[in-house]
Structure formats: structure tokens, C-alpha cells
Amino acid sequence: MGIKHNILSLLFIFLVTNVVAISCQNIKMEQKFDWSATLSAPKEYPVQVYRGEITAKDYTQSLSGFGDINYGWGEEGGTVVMGPDLKSIPDSLEIAWHSFVDQKNFEGKWALPKEELIKLFNEGIVNKVTNKKITYNKFVVGLAPNGLVVIWLSSVRGQVEIAHYKAKEVSVNVETISEENKPIFSKKYNDVVLSELNNEYNTFERIKKKEYPKTDLYEGYRLRYLWKPLIELSDNEMLINFVMHTYNGEIEIESSNKKEQLNVSYKERGVLKYLAFGWIDKEQKKEVGCWLEEFNENELFNAYKKFNPTEEINFIIKVINKSKVSIKLKSMSQEIEIKKFKLTIE
């Protein structure tokens, strides 16, 4: 009887141990990454956050206390260095801000696409020179007119939009606002911000004419087309790198090992805002850099709009000499010359 009891006890322990082991195998440890969050707003549309936080399972970062934000659309503000190095991917965003130009307040709370974010963090961006993966490390929260909120993931190798939301306009009872944030709502503080802004953007006159802020402008920036930059060089020259900013706040950075031509694929991109690229002669004796900036926004957007968003478009830059390039948008159906831009080659 004792032997039988011992055998049954051992069998029970064996079964329980195996069930626990299998259960532990099925429980995936939650991945953690090194990240922080910051803010962005258009240069001519300053805002200040008076309440906000981005929240993960094990960490919450405040989004207030950054001061006035207007570094440029997609351009990041200050960096938070507090908190643990590794933390779970955030799953929610809550934010409330004051807009100085239109004297409005917006707020909202949303769930973040956590599974998509984990996938992007794991994939990262591969450096084609070193063949090493660089992952994202920053959330950039963009605040635009009419309550538009856009979130980008950023790294030293690029920036990509991962979500967008619409905040609601709200009335604010200043008595409920924390003491450190109450000055945001004072007439004196707002007058100072707008006066400084007016010197550069003629803010007061544009507000009177009701042409500013353009409430749908930044939503329009999010429109994408299927295109790629195509750099035409002489036969003995080879493209080796480029940095590209688009109006939707995204950034692409690519480079080669200088032994192979850098090839760029078609993908859905926003309208080009800035492009820098470099090339080298095939004997690798001299590297040359080219910068294209200060495009005419209306000319560019009107040109892109003439194409079907689903057709493949080449943004062709033909380098003619060290002081001249020609630019055109070209598809199978048509081509349009781009005339207004600033060029630097050195």
C-alpha cells in the first residue's frame, strides 16, 4: 500500500511539474525598450501643454513642463532623461494643450497601437554600411491646428508616423489648473508670445483676415504618393547617401558602403520638403554633396496632385554641373518640371 501510494504521489508531482513548465513556456515575458517622449508643433503655431502623459504598464512620462513648443512640424523638442532605461511599450496617450494663435484649448485620450509599436521597435532600421540594426528610441507627439495630433517614432536613422488622432476643443476653468501652468492662460503671457511671433509671420494681420491658422493644412500634409527620388549622375559617379524630409514630418536616411550604388525603392511617401545627397566618383577620389531646400510649397503640392496617388512617380534630379540641376516629377503618364528651390553643391 505504501509503495503504491508513493508511486501515485510521484506521478502526481511529475504531472503538476510538467503542467507548470508548459504554462511558463506559454507566458511570454513582456519586451522592454529604451525610449522617451517629446513634443512638436509648427513654427508659426506655438502651443503649450498644461496636462499630459504617455503611459506604459510600468512607467508614465509627463508631457507638461516643456514650455512653449514651436520647433517645426516633426521637429522634436526637449528630451527627458529621467526614468528607467528599459520599459514596456506605452499603450496610451493623454494630452491637453493651449494654442496661442487661435486662443483655443484641446484635449484627448487615446489607446496607442501597442502591437504595431513592438513590431517596429523589434524591426528597427538596418544601417546598410555597418549592417547593424538601430532601433527607435523616441516618441514625438505633434500638435497642430484644429486639434490634430500626430505621433512619430524617431531614431538617428529616421522618423516614421505611427498614429494620428483628433483632440476635442474644450473650455478651461483656470482655477482648476496647477499653479505652474496658470500663466499660460494670462493675457500678458499670450500677448508676449503672439508679439514675438508677429515679427516673423505677420500673425496679427493674418488672424484678422481669417486665413490663419489654416485648420486643414497639416492634415493635408499627411497625403502620400507612391514615389522615389531618382538622382541622375554621370557614368563615373555613384550615389552613396541621402537624407530626405517630407512635409508629413517623416525622415529617411540611407547610406551605402561606397562600393555599391545606393538604390531607393518606390514607397508611399509624403511630399518632399528637403533632400540632401552625396555621390562619389567610381575611383573614389572625391565626394560631393548636394542640398535641395526651400522648395515652393504651392508649386510642389500642385505638381504632386496632378498624379494618381497609386501610380509610380520619379522625383528626378539631374545633376548638370557643380552649380546647376534640373528637377521634374515623372510617371508613365506625364512629367512636370519643378522650378523653385535653393541649391547648394560642394
Q: Which run of H or E residues covers position 201?
A: helix 187-201
**Can you tell me the mean pLDDT for 276-282?**
92
Cβ within 8 Å of residue 282, ≥6 positions away: 236, 237, 238
Lowest mean pLDDT among 16-20, 59-63, 175-179, 251-255: 16-20
Q: Are 57 and 131 in contact (CB under 8 A)?
A: no
Q: Which three cell numbers stand for residue 252?
A: 529617411
| 6 pLDDT above the threshold of 60 | no
Task: Report pLDDT digits (tens) over 36-61.
Answer: 999 999 999 999 999 999 999 999 99
Beta bridge partners, 52, equal 95
Task: Report pLDDT digits (tens) over 106-121.
Answer: 999 999 999 999 999 9
150, 291, 321 from 145: Cα distances, Å: 11, 30, 42
Locus of grid cell 528599459: 86
- Share of the chain residues as helix, strand and coil, in percent rounded to the nearest 5: 25, 40, 35
Helix ranges, 202-266 (H): 203-208, 217-220
Q: Between 174 and 129, where is the model more confident?
A: 174
pTM for the model stands at: 0.89
Percent of the chain at pLDDT exceeding 70: 92
